[in-house]
Amino acid sequence: MSALTFAAFVFMAIFLSALAGFRLQGLLPPKFTDDATEGNVRTVLGMLSMMTAVVLGFVTADAKNAFDNASKIVADTAVRLVSIDRVLADFGDDGTKLRDQLKQFAEEWIARVKSPAGDANSDLGTVKRAEELEGFVEQIQKLKPASDVQANEQARAVELALGILHDRWVLKTERAASTPNVFLLVLLAWLGLEFFIFGLFADKNTAIVFATFLGAIMVASAFFLVLDLEGPMTGPMRIGTGTLERAVAIMGQ
């Protein structure tokens, strides 16, 4: 289920819960609507709202941290690409071929991230690209250095390329480790209960219903934010390719 679809489900669930509360408030016996009962219920509702806000805040912060980590990985990859390119520049024609291949790899990655679907590789696709990068590393290792200094630079290029491969696997596995659906559903149940209780005791007029509608949209957008941030290479909020594009502009020169 996409982030937008789940957010729409959240909106419908909590807004309908509030409408159910509005609908049922006239059926409550008088003893359930006196000031003392309403005050106690609102106290419990406040505690539940605070607990829900704290939990949702933690989940959002965790998703944002994962997004920031992925963004840092992409920036580090851009630096590694430029560094490898500069090392290969010292290996003549053999190095030029590898530089072209490396630049093509970066351009293809940028194109995938910018595509409507984003960089949403299947496990098979990820393995295939990893094998291509492993083959590129082997080609670097086959280069013949002309001096000890060049040999050291060759070893450094191999290390940098392996670092890119490692980071690609990190991005893939982090995307798989999303927030459990059960956790989100329990949180949604809390919010549905809050809106239901609110509907039971709120004044039923156009302004209150409209405010409840806006509140449901805000809560649904929070769920959308969390789920979309968990896919840093896909969705409306995805990592920018500015650092990679700058790297590509430098490579080959």
pTM, entire model: 0.75
Say if CB 195 and CB 18 are below 8 A apart.
yes
Q: C-alpha angle 146/147/152, rounded to 5°?
A: 115
Per-residue burial over 200-225, b = 16 or more CB atoms within 10 Å of its CB, e = otherwise: bbbeeeeeebeebeebbeebbebbbb
* Stretch 97-104: mean pLDDT: 88
Mean pLDDT of 144-171: 85
pLDDT mean over 34-50: 75
Q: How far from 160 is each of 30, 54, 95, CA to CA, in Å?
A: 73, 41, 16
Structural domain for 126, as ranges:
3-26+35-250
3 state SS of 61: helix
Cβ neighbour number for residue 139 with a 10 Å cutoff: 14
pLDDT in tens, 59-97: 888 888 888 888 888 889 899 999 988 888 888 777 888
What six digits make up the tokens of 84?
């490898």
Q: How many domains does the chain have?
A: 1
Mean predicted lDDT score pLDDT of the chain: 83
> What is the residue-wise DSSP string for 12-23?
HHHHHHHHHHHH
